[in-house]
Amino acid sequence: MSDDPEEGMLGWDESVFRDEHVFEIDWLPETFKHRSSQMETLKYSLRPAVRGSRPLNVIARGPPGTGKTTATQILFDELSAQTDVRAVRVNCQVDSTRYAVFSRLFAEIFDYEPPSSGISFKKLFSQITDKLVEEDEVLAVALDDVNYLFYESEASDTLYSLLRAHEAHSGAKIGVICVSSDLELDVIEALDTRVQSVFRPEEVYFNKYDQTEIVDILDERVERGFNEGVVGPAVLDRVAELTEEQGGDLRVGIDLLRRAGMNAEMRASRSVELEDVESAYDKSKYVHLSRRLQELSDSETALVEVIAEHDGKRAGDIFDAFNDASGLGYTRYSEIINKLDQLGIIDADYTDVEGRGRSRELTLNYDADAVLDRV
């Protein structure tokens, strides 16, 4: 037996990873497990489009990290590759207004971006519908994270334009899949009655994965992403356990595996140990927070920072500090508070304050230091 302590350690040009891209959020698995009933409902809704008819509308709901986006992307990729259906997924975290949604549709349909200014929504809309009718194409639109359109009060106008397109331009055939991770949002109830009357969606629910399912799904990532023998059963079970603690959000488990692998490499180890998982968890458990903060505007981020720095203080004190930092007034402040509350970053509850009537009490839903580290 060798006494060399460096025997069995990673060299500079070696890695525990076979393919690190497997741990990216946009990687699509070859086998999509434990979602057969949800996929069947989505296929049923999209099938009319293959026959040249308008597809059925759908609401796909469920907690974060339960496969809603992956299911939609897999089916849309199949439609684009195997049929003449035009299938476009719009990320509403990024495109959170009606104009932005239709600009994304324009770019996908025409293969170039619309002018950044000087073109009205009406013209943008008519160019899209003209093209669909001219090419005799059916358009399937997935509004991913549609809850962000509701946060910006843009959902009803956006859906109205999509669903009434055939009235504005005879022959236009558009169906919509609304994907939402906000379980407190009743999508239909929150829409204007003019939209409710034409939406009438199929509903599909993506329940959270249990620990056995999490192990099964992550095992494919381990086999494809790590070299053989790097991650053992005990490590994978612990990752699954911690993932289940975070609501079964697979994004936590995927990020945890990647960070644990990086920790192993930092130790020049050829295998991931439990200590690598435990130290990685301090960051991976905030994967939802990091993503939500990345999508905020500068003024929204500024208010989050003020709230974190003044955690536990009165709403009036927080507004004063925000006003000093941004120069924005109370109306915009109140709008941002509502959005942060809907995103689950804060709780903004009304309370009765003696001598002052009702006041909002602002509470962070995350550790203040974790928030400040990420803004």
Give the model confidence (pLDDT) of 13-64 as tens digits: 899 999 999 999 889 998 899 999 999 999 999 999 999 999 999 999 999 9
Using alpha carbons only, what angle is made at residue 121 by residues 118 and 125, rounded to the nearest 5 degrees?
Answer: 120
pTM score of the predicted model: 0.88
The mean pLDDT value for 258-283 works out to 96
Q: How confident is the model at residue 358 (pLDDT cuts 50, 70, 90)?
A: low
- Per-residue model confidence (pLDDT) at position 50: 96
Known binding residue 69? Answer is yes
Bridge-based pairing state of the strands 173-180 and 202-205: unpaired
- Per-residue model confidence (pLDDT) at position 286: 92
Q: How confident is the model at residue 8 (pLDDT cuts 50, 70, 90)?
A: low
The mean pLDDT value for 272-277 works out to 97
Count of H-run helices and E-run strands, the chain: 18, 7
What domains does the chain contain, in order, with CATH numbers? 36-205 (3.40.50.300), 209-293 (1.10.8.60), 296-373 (1.10.10.10)
- Per-residue model confidence (pLDDT) at position 253: 97
**Which of 220, 263, 271, 226 is closest to 18 using CA atoms?**
226
Q: How confident is the model at residue 361 (pLDDT cuts 50, 70, 90)?
A: confident
Known binding residue 209? Answer is yes
Known binding residue 259? Answer is no
Higher pLDDT, 275 or 30: 275
- Per-residue model confidence (pLDDT) at position 6: 53
Residue 275 confidence (pLDDT) above 90: yes
Cβ contact 188:176 at 8 Å: no
Q: Give the chain's end-to-end CA distance (angstroms, integer).
A: 51
Known binding residue 70? Answer is yes
- Per-residue model confidence (pLDDT) at position 118: 80
Residue with tokens 């590759």: 81
How far is it, in rounded angstroms, from Cα 97 to Cα 316?
Answer: 30
Strand locations in the chain (E): 58-61, 86-91, 138-144, 173-180, 202-205, 346-353, 357-364
- Per-residue model confidence (pLDDT) at position 5: 45
Residues 300-350 pLDDT 10s: 999 999 999 987 667 778 989 999 989 989 899 988 998 999 888 998 887
Q: How confident is the model at residue 355 (pLDDT cuts 50, 70, 90)?
A: low
Residue with tokens 């160019």: 127
Cβ contact 64:286 at 8 Å: no
Known binding residue 68? Answer is yes
- Per-residue model confidence (pLDDT) at position 351: 73
Q: How confident is the model at residue 196 (pLDDT cuts 50, 70, 90)?
A: very high
Mean pLDDT value across the chain: 92
Q: How confident is the model at residue 214 (pLDDT cuts 50, 70, 90)?
A: very high
φ and ψ at 42, to 5 degrees?
-65, -40
- Per-residue model confidence (pLDDT) at position 1: 41
Bridge-based pairing state of the strands 346-353 and 357-364: antiparallel
Q: 178 in the Ramachandran plot: left (φ > 0), alpha (ψ -120 to 50) or beta?
A: beta
pLDDT above 70 covers what percent of the chain? 95
How far is it, in rounded angstroms, from Cα 88 to Cα 84?
Answer: 13
* Rg of the chain, C-alpha, whole Å: 24
- Per-residue model confidence (pLDDT) at position 352: 66
Residues 80-131 pLDDT 10s: 999 999 999 999 999 999 999 999 999 999 999 998 778 999 999 999 999 9
Residue 353 confidence (pLDDT) above 80: no
H helices of 3-142, where? 36-50, 68-82, 98-110, 121-135
**Which of 116, 98, 107 is closest to 155 using CA atoms?**
98
